[in-house]
Amino acid sequence: MRVIISGASGRMGTMLVRTVAQAKDATLVGATEREGSSAVGQDVGLLAGIPALDIQVCDSLAACDEADVLIDFTAPEACLNHAKVVAEKSMAMVIGTTGFDANQQAELDAILKHTPTVVAANYSVGVNLALNLIQQAAAVLNTDYDAEIYEAHHKHKVDAPSGTALAMGKALAAGRDVNFDDVAVYSREGITGAREVGTIGFSVVRGGNIVGDHKAMFIADEERIEINHFASDRMVFAKGAVRAASWLIDKPAGRYDMQDVLGLK
């Protein structure tokens, strides 16, 4: 499996470089960064803190060698541009980028409609097991249990709530067979009034170097059930993304997620 990594000098990018370099079934053949980045032209292995790989970072996906799959953890606009090249070159794509608005998401889906694609807010195996458990719990714990999603991340994260928190909310809504957008509550300030039955509340923390904490709470008058996940190293996300890329190689065109990769559906 020949892999290109976009955003290769970022926090996740360097983790992905290390993971692909160590993988038995994957070969890194390209790496990209935004135009004007100081990483362009540098050896991607050295940027990732490992021995040189003789692969220089490019400022364009089109300039990279031919590959089977692109792994993209960048930003929505950059990801959309990369998706166009992926579709033109008949590659597969693993997307960990979050923060798309509705129009961007629709554009991405249209671009990649003939492309094998895995899209996930979180590539941790543990998180995806948690999503499965949340949906099961929500099917049993009805609206007598108030539902809350808590998440905390490092101070550099630019979107909120996190993609994983939203995925937890959507799993919860699916378990209760309700429309997520109808029940999500993202902010509370001032005199908000009593909590509305059936809503899913979100709370967000940003600070320090927190890798990722997530919690789904089902709260009744008599008891509280919590499903938690705490990430201590970003390597867990990189390993999951490379696992997804390997799984995707022989799959037909379509949009998949980590629940598909892990056989949880």
- Distance between CA atoms of 242 and 123, rounded to whole angstroms? 9
Q: Would you state the pLDDT for residue 121?
A: 85
226 — pLDDT class (breaks 50, 70, 90): very high
Shortest CA distance to 28 belongs to which of 10, 11, 14? 14
Q: Given the residues 89, 154, 157, 251, select the one marked as catalytic.
A: 157
Instruction: Give me the percent of the chain exceeding a pLDDT of 70.
Output: 100
153 labelled catalytic: yes
Please give the structure tokens belonging to residue 83. 């998706």
Q: Given the residues 153, 170, 229, 239, select the one marked as catalytic.
A: 153
13 — pLDDT class (breaks 50, 70, 90): very high
Shortest CA distance to 128 belongs to which of 241, 26, 25, 17? 241
User: Coil, strand, or helix at residue 183?
Assistant: helix
- Distance between CA atoms of 7 and 71, rounded to whole angstroms? 9
Q: Would you state the pLDDT for residue 94?
A: 98
pLDDT (mean) for 207-230: 97
- Distance between CA atoms of 156 and 174, rounded to whole angstroms? 31
pLDDT in tens, 122-153: 899 999 999 999 999 999 999 999 999 999 99
Dihedral class, residue 49 (left if φ above 0, else alpha if ψ from -120 to 50, else beta):
left
Please name each of the domains of the chain with its CATH number: 2-119+234-261 (3.40.50.720), 125-231 (3.30.360.10)
* Contacting residues for 143 by C-beta, under 8 A, at least 6 apart: 176, 197, 198
pLDDT (mean) for 17-46: 96
pLDDT in tens, 171-210: 999 999 999 999 999 999 999 999 999 999 999 999 999 9
| pTM of the predicted model as reported, rounded to 2 decimal places | 0.83
157 labelled catalytic: yes
